[in-house]
Amino acid sequence: MPDDSAAFRAVTSTVAVPPRALMVAMSYWPEPAGSAPMMTDLATAFAAAGTDMTVLTARPNYPGNRVYDGYADGSQDHLTVDGVRIERLFTIPPKGGGMKARLVHEGVLHGGFLAARARGRVAKHKAVLSLCPSIFSVAVADRFKAPGGRHVAIVHDIQSGLAGALGMGGGAALKAIQALERTALNRADSIVVLSEAMRDVLRDLGVRRPVAVIPPHVDADAIHPLPRPDGQPPTVLYSGAFARKQGLEQVLEMARHLHGLRPDARVLLRGQGGLEEELKAQAVGMGLTNVEFAPLIPKERLAEGLAEGDVHLVPQRPEGAAFAMPGKAVTILAAGRPFVCTCLPGSALARLEAEIGAFLSTPPDAPEAMAKAVADLLNAPDRSAAMGRRGRAWVEAHASRSAVLARYAGLLLNGEVE
């Protein structure tokens, strides 16, 4: 986990924060991808600002399909790290991308959360944060709110939208998820989403509680621009989970087109997840000599790893673009690198591109256009560097830990929604 600098503590010491707070979330440190880094940064920011912070979470397993070594026996179920008390519960990590495996994983874990409340292992709190995914976290978090307290639900993924768009559920099952989302979110005191598009989706779903738009945030002290390593070839980097919603099959097609435009460039896919073996097999079958696979880099070396990418990739399946905002985009901007994403007009990423001009977007499922955009950036290092500077400046102003902490604290203390 990141060490808080003296400068960060000085900034956060001026922010009014709740004396005690609880975060209910499936993912947390040391998980390196998905929502875990952002939730870890938020919890440690509250702790650094003086909050007695507790996190109720799972034994770490994402983005793989098993509990991490050293955690399965429960010996690390009660830890305090960087001022945050971490309480972990047993779960059954999902194997594959199916809805049934996810529901077993989430059901077992959240049943454990409720049992922890019933046994008094975790007390009720006046200030409660919950994270979706999973909507079950939002639903059970209400049981942890003390009378007169406030519960803020943070929605990183709208599960019913993603499930329907990605073909993971339908009919009665999808309607049941939508009903649970509507009921659970309408019981929260405030809701946070990552984009205006996500707020629109929640309104259409029937959610009527106050909704604040707060972009994904990043530890801008830990993630900062570094020089590219000497002697490496031009590198196009994807770093994150190998999952369905990323639409990584279009990256492989992009790599095939890129080889004709920049035969000296490599495409580095750094990550893990349920699709890893499938993607590797596809790359071999397509004869992609310019594609390399590597594991996720440790968090303490993340800035160094991001510096390897001259151009980064943020692919998405178009069907789910309105239901999620990729946090990796903000992390890349903090590292001072441009990226090429796939998105639809009017989506959260399209709006952000128009606002800051720090990356390029291409239509989903258009790998040739994606390859051309990547090649254009590789061929114009001065333009890429200028885009990187604009992205970094935007992060410092809008998406740093200190900027975001104040907004979350306001929601927990008095329900301030801009």
The full DSSP string for 342-358 is E--TTSHHHHHHHHH--
| Alpha carbons 85 and 411: distance in angstroms, whole number | 22
| Alpha carbons 59 and 141: distance in angstroms, whole number | 18
Could you tell me which residues are beta bridge partners of residue 218?
400
Q: Find out whether 40 and 29 touch, Cβ atoms under 8 Å.
A: yes
| Alpha carbons 52 and 404: distance in angstroms, whole number | 18
Q: Find out whether 198 and 323 touch, Cβ atoms under 8 Å.
A: yes
pLDDT digits (tens), the chain, 418 positions: 444 455 455 555 567 899 999 999 999 999 988 889 889 989 999 999 999 999 999 999 988 889 999 999 999 999 999 999 999 999 999 876 567 788 889 999 999 999 999 999 999 999 999 999 899 999 999 999 999 999 999 998 887 765 555 455 557 777 888 899 999 999 999 999 988 888 988 999 999 999 999 988 888 888 999 999 999 999 999 999 888 778 899 999 999 999 999 999 999 999 988 889 999 999 999 999 999 999 999 888 999 999 999 999 999 887 666 566 788 999 999 999 999 999 888 888 888 999 999 999 999 999 999 999 999 999 999 999 999 999 999 999 888 887 788 889 999 998 765 5
Q: Find out whether 409 and 17 touch, Cβ atoms under 8 Å.
A: yes
Locate 328 and state its tokens. 């990796």
Q: Assess whether the previous peptide bond of 133 is cis (omega < 30° from 0).
A: yes
Q: Taking the complete model, does pTM exceed 0.85, yes or no? A: no
Could you tell me which residues are beta bridge partners of residue 22?
54, 128
Locate 113 and state its tokens. 């959360």
73: Cβ–Cβ under 8 A, 6 or more apart, which residues? none
| Alpha carbons 288 and 361: distance in angstroms, whole number | 24
292: Cβ–Cβ under 8 A, 6 or more apart, which residues? 266, 267, 268, 269
Could you tell me which residues are beta bridge partners of residue 313?
340
- For the chain, how many residues are written? 418
What is the rounded end-to-end Cα distance, in angstroms, of the chain?
Answer: 31
Q: Find out whether 299 and 1 touch, Cβ atoms under 8 Å.
A: yes
Q: DSSP E strands: which ranges in 92-216?
A: 125-132, 145-155, 190-193, 211-213
Closest CA to 216 of 415, 25, 372, 42: 42
